[in-house]
Structure 1
Amino acid sequence: MTQTKVRLRRDAELAESEGSLRVSAPVGALGLRDLPPGAVAALGALAAGDVTEAGLTAAVVGGDGEAGLFRWNMLVRRLAGGGLLEYSVDGARLWPVGAGPLEPAAAPAPGTKVKLSRFAVATAEDGMLTVRSPRHASAVELAPRTAGILGALADWTTPAELAEALPGVPVEQVLRFFDAAGLLTRTPEDDDQSRAQWAPRDLWLHAHSRGPRVTGRYGGTYPLGSRFGPLPAAPPAFDGRRIPLVPPDMEIAAKSDPSLTEALERRRSVREHDAGSPITVGQLGDLLYRSMRRRNAFTSPDGQELVDRPYPSGGSVHELEVYPLVVSCEGVEPGLWHYDTAGHALERVAEPGPATQILVRRARASALLEADPQVLLVVTARFGRVMWKYETIAYSLVLKHVGVLYQTLYLVGTAMNLAVCGLGGGDAGDFAAASGLDYLTEGSVGELVLGSKR
């Protein structure tokens, strides 16, 4: 049988300070005092790389005698309980990504039916396949010669059948790793509603944006800070025609608007527009000004240009932009426009055509409209504004920001007696085709239809 080897987790450090040893990792640290020579030697072996249990035993016994094994075994349990160890066999490795205890599980019995969890995700990294489950703080790495076990686990099988089908693969040890990382299931995962209701991609987003213990790196870690500079607060200007907008008189609006309570109570998703009296450029400009104009800009200590707008944004990054796709608006030619939040103006992006018509048609169908909407507000995100600073939670932050912008547009639209209706989905690929923007750099993340009330 292939022996399992162990080492300190790859992001851990072993250091000596004031006569004691300290094992530190991003998830925590363990201080160790008054260790005997054999235990110190064994710890050094763990820090140097993969070592067998026999090798560790020899180091301990060589320095402390057999009497030192009990103390050493207790120390290993503390290291495993703190998630400070990773384990390997030929062609596979179990390693902790986040926080919490980790050690190989007991091997499934040879006749036990097992299957790969439907929530498991495999990615290619540095010549290995890394396999993870969304709710576990560990991962399994598979070398190419071992990766065939993934295909074999696509359907129900047993360890005995796997060993016969995959000669040369340490099936028992790999299954122990899979079990410890939450990658195996012994029962169907859609037998109860709580698991059946989750699509794998949804559970991944939920678990990793709401579970710092399973991610390792979480929040404002600046994952791209050492490689790229922060994006500016405003995107590059478009080359098309520009329509300056007149700012509304906010003092008059404050006196004439309904109260917040009244606006909340009156707010409705209104899908019907007044075709005989469409929305005007003044109304469109007032809505955008009151909802998302740039009120102020400032630079944070990390060098990122930050912005103040009427709605909140994590870290004041304000990555959202709005592109009014005009079908019928008095004072604005049909086509795709961009709202310049700093200059309070509309910038021409694209003429009406097949690509913009697809967006209009999809919005009409999504909102169950009898006719084309007067204006489709496409909300985009300049992803790098958020992803430069935030790790793991970046996309979930974008979605939160879309929600607060929706509500802001709804309430201001209600106060202005406009018809506003948020849509539940759209096609980012269609918007990329219509706008010419790169899908991964700035993409659509929300849509609302807007018009005059009947």
Structure 2
Amino acid sequence: MSRFAVVTAEDGVLSVRGPRSPAVVELAPEAAGLLGALADWTTPAELGARAGWTAPAELVAGEVLRFLAAAGALTTGDEDGDEDGDLALAQWQPRDLWLHAHSRGSRIAGRYGGTYPFKGRFEPLPVNPAPFGGKRIELTAPDLDAPGPSLTETLERRRSVREHDQDAPITLDQLGELLYRSMRQRAAFDSPDGQRLADRPYPSGGSVHELEVYPLVVSCRGLDPGLWHYDTAGHALELVSEPSPAVRTLVRRARAAALLTEDPQVLLIVTARFGRVMWKYETIAYSLVLKHVGVLYQTIYLVGTAMNLAVCGLGGGDADDFALASGLDYLSEGSVGELVLGSRRG
């Protein structure tokens, strides 16, 4: 069995697939035991003997193997063979190849793109999440007409800056300005398909704008420590959680990921309200979320650079930790990105 093969239970049978083939092999209960035998190298004769078939076992096993090979679920060779004999294949993890093959292969996936798989079954999620109902801080809108550095200058100065000025932490007004310039909801409007859409400073597929930002504050002048949510429509911060062991875990993991010697002043946790995207898009939904995270990273980087703040995007985080700290459902809204933010030294 190829290390890229995936087995799922569907409609009472086991379905076997490979990431690059549209073929699916369905195994009845009598044949399901073959999968265990295929965990190691074997031959049609050995496979038939282990299955105990009364018909010419080698011929029956050969037919089964041909089906599995057509689905891209097998690798061939001998006991000394190596499926990952060259770098092109060895470099891929199964989960990465599956995401790449299906989000970039409409012929493989079948249903692909804006198919509205849940229209008529479920109502689309609202454009804005429900308020948290706790402490709320209204933020001041910056003057967008004030002079600033050019785009070229900002692009050339952009760097990942990990060190913060702990003697003069970032201020509430600075945090508010960065969120306003990068994340605020400029408008909301209805689409013909019945989904409420939004307009923000960065692009989003179908204008669904599923991303939210949760500033986790350690040190910010004018703002208490804790986990906050940015209300993109109202330009305000809502308190999600006071400092807690779960919140502290998020800070500790971010500090380790960014190789910081001290705690970050602010950790911006980017989440996705998955249903906003998955209500409309099929197969490519999660890959779209990741694209949106990338453009938001760049937007925050450029705004932070223009404001002379220290910004550093992180390569990974833990969605379970965020669910525990926020109390949000892992499958409904989960963390998909993090950036460290603070005042710049000098």
Is the counterpart of residue 263 in structure 1 residue 154 in structure 2? yes
Is the counterpart of residue 140 in structure 1 residue 140 in structure 2? no
Which secondary structure does the structure 2 equivalent of 1:311 belong to?
coil
Which one of 49, 61, 72 corresponds to residue 164 of structure 1?
A: 49
Shift of 1:229: 1.0
Aligned residues: 336
Which secondary structure does the structure 1 equivalent of 2:145 belong to?
helix
Is the counterpart of residue 241 in structure 1 residue 131 in structure 2? no
Which secondary structure does the structure 2 equivalent of 1:130 belong to?
strand
Q: Distance in 2 between matches of 1:172 and 1:123?
A: 22
Moved more, 237-246 or 173-182: 173-182
Is the counterpart of residue 173 in structure 1 residue 63 in structure 2? yes
Q: Distance in 2 between matches of 1:355 and 1:418?
A: 27
Moved more, 137-146 or 425-434: 137-146
Task: Give the aligned partner of residue 276 of structure 2.
Answer: 385
Q: Distance in 1 between matches of 2:29 and 2:150?
A: 64
Which secondary structure does the structure 1 equivalent of 2:256 belong to?
helix
Shift of 1:144: 1.6
Q: Distance in 2 between matches of 1:196 and 1:393?
A: 24
Q: Which has the higher contact order (CA 8 A, sep 6+)?
A: 2
Task: Give the aligned partner of residue 113 of structure 1.
Answer: none
How does 1:186-265 map onto structure 2 within 5 Å? 186-187=76-77, 188-252=82-146, 255=147, 257-265=148-156
Is the counterpart of residue 295 in structure 1 residue 186 in structure 2? yes
TM-score, reference length from structure 1: 0.73
Shift of 1:172: 2.4
Q: Distance in 2 between matches of 1:392 and 1:167?
A: 40
Structure with bigger gyration radius: 1
Which one of 2, 6, 10 corresponds to residue 125 of structure 1?
A: 10
In the alignment, residue 117 of structure 2 is paired with which amino acid? P
How does 1:45-64 map onto structure 2 within 5 Å? none
Is the counterpart of residue 359 in structure 1 residue 250 in structure 2? yes
Task: Give the aligned partner of residue 429 of structure 1.
Answer: 320
Task: Give the aligned partner of residue 319 of structure 1.
Answer: 210
Once the two structures are superposed, residues 350-395 of structure 1 have per-residue CA deviations (whole angstroms, 9 ceiling, x without a partner) of 0101000000000001001110000000000000000011000000
Task: Give the aligned partner of residue 404 of structure 1.
Answer: 295
In the alignment, residue 437 of structure 1 is paired with which amino acid? L
Q: Distance in 1 between matches of 2:232 and 2:24?
A: 43
Which secondary structure does the structure 1 equivalent of 2:46 belong to?
helix
Q: Distance in 1 between matches of 2:308 and 2:319?
A: 30
Moved more, 242-251 or 139-148: 139-148
Shift of 1:176: 1.5
Q: Distance in 1 between matches of 2:74 and 2:262?
A: 51
Task: Give the aligned partner of residue 282 of structure 1.
Answer: 173
Q: Distance in 1 between matches of 2:207 and 2:10?
A: 33
Q: Give the 4+ runs in structure 1 shifted more than 3 A.
A: none
In the alignment, residue 310 of structure 1 is paired with which amino acid? P
Identity %: 75
Q: Distance in 2 between matches of 1:180 and 1:206?
A: 20
Structure 2: state its 5+ residue gaps: none
Task: Give the aligned partner of residue 229 of structure 2.
Answer: 338
Once the two structures are superposed, residues 385-435 of structure 1 have per-residue CA deviations (whole angstroms, 9 ceiling, x without a partner) of 000110000000000000000000000000000000000000000000000
Once the two structures are superposed, residues 255-303 of structure 1 have per-residue CA deviations (whole angstroms, 9 ceiling, x without a partner) of 2x21111100000000010111000000000000000100010010000
TM-score, reference length from structure 2: 0.96
Q: Distance in 2 between matches of 1:219 and 1:330?
A: 45
Which secondary structure does the structure 1 equivalent of 2:119 belong to?
coil
Q: Distance in 2 between matches of 1:189 and 1:232?
A: 47
Which secondary structure does the structure 1 equivalent of 2:24 belong to?
strand
Which secondary structure does the structure 1 equivalent of 2:30 belong to?
coil
In the alignment, residue 40 of structure 2 is paired with which amino acid? D
Task: Give the aligned partner of residue 37 of structure 2.
Answer: 152
Q: Distance in 1 between matches of 2:64 and 2:199?
A: 52
